[in-house]
Structure 1
Amino acid sequence: MKQQESTIEVSVSPIVYLMKNYADYNLWANATLINWLRTKPADILEKEVPSCFNSIKATIVHIWKTQRYWLSVIKRSEPDGFDEFNGMLEDAFKGLVEQSDILADYVKEMTGEAIEESTLVVSPWFQCDFQNFEYIMQVMNHSTYHRGQIITIGRNLGFTDAPMTDYNFYNIHGR
């Protein structure tokens, strides 16, 4: 993982700056969450709980798969992210952080034109034709949503020391 000081050009449009910064934030927030989870007993992280997904591990895998899917949309490549995951907890941790790094690198390399360009998505569940920055926001918001679920599940399992992963905290302390 290449968590480094953000080097986003200040001459880009505000939406381009935000997307690039938000991709770095997503990497930082996912890495921060995973580093915290690594301090917890693996058996508890795989324990079945009443939630959207049946464990913290399953939620991590879902975030990872969804990020892979939306990256394939933005790249206009074959959809990726729907294969079955049968790996260990540490594999899920590593996969999410590595994929977040790949996503951040890709977004940082996108031109302003590519970020503002529209991409048609036709899937079994929906069809849309939005600008790529909307898909980038979709994946970032999705990851944030599920990080919050993980914190809540952890709280219900007795974890009281969750890290701060808010966007503003990242902008002040995380970069």
Structure 2
Amino acid sequence: MTGWGEDDLARLRAAAHLRDGSGGLAALGDRPLGPVLQYAGDVLAAALAEGRAAARERAEECLAELDARDAPGDAELAADLAAALGTPRAAALPPLPADLGAIAAALEDTEPHVLDLVHGDVLHIGDLADEPAAEVYDPSRWLPIPPGRDLPEDEEARRGLARHWLADQGYRVV
């Protein structure tokens, strides 16, 4: 990734995972946003929520790039970022604390997984063998993740596809 070394990308991933806006701003620095728009949007939204005025210009830049690229997951992230900027585009989906990387891995796996709608955990269906059947199939608690999708190797694209799938299910990641 142009302008993004592994250490820089690791810091950005960590900031996105922790919703650390100031750490995310530091990781972004003056590097190009294009190769990391999905992570950049998440950390910039967090920085705006923290009240970091320095995030506004980069968030507007990220929003413009998301709109221009229009890859899977970009519209959903753009809506979240626009709301953080104070210019909401649509009614917000209910938030779910989920790991987009884990969702992407479950989408690609050939084994069935579920998403815990309470905690945001992605679990292999076999891990629920000790749960009562009524709880395992409770749609207010578990969301089946369809297995066997062919996902790209690119981490940015995988994150976007997972975000898009989650939005199709009626949730936004936090």
Asked if these proteins are the same fold (TM beyond 0.5), I'd say no
The structure showing larger relative contact order (alpha-carbon pairs under 8 Å, at least 6 residues apart) is: 1
Name the one with the larger helix percent.
1
TM-score if structure 1 supplies the norm length? 0.28
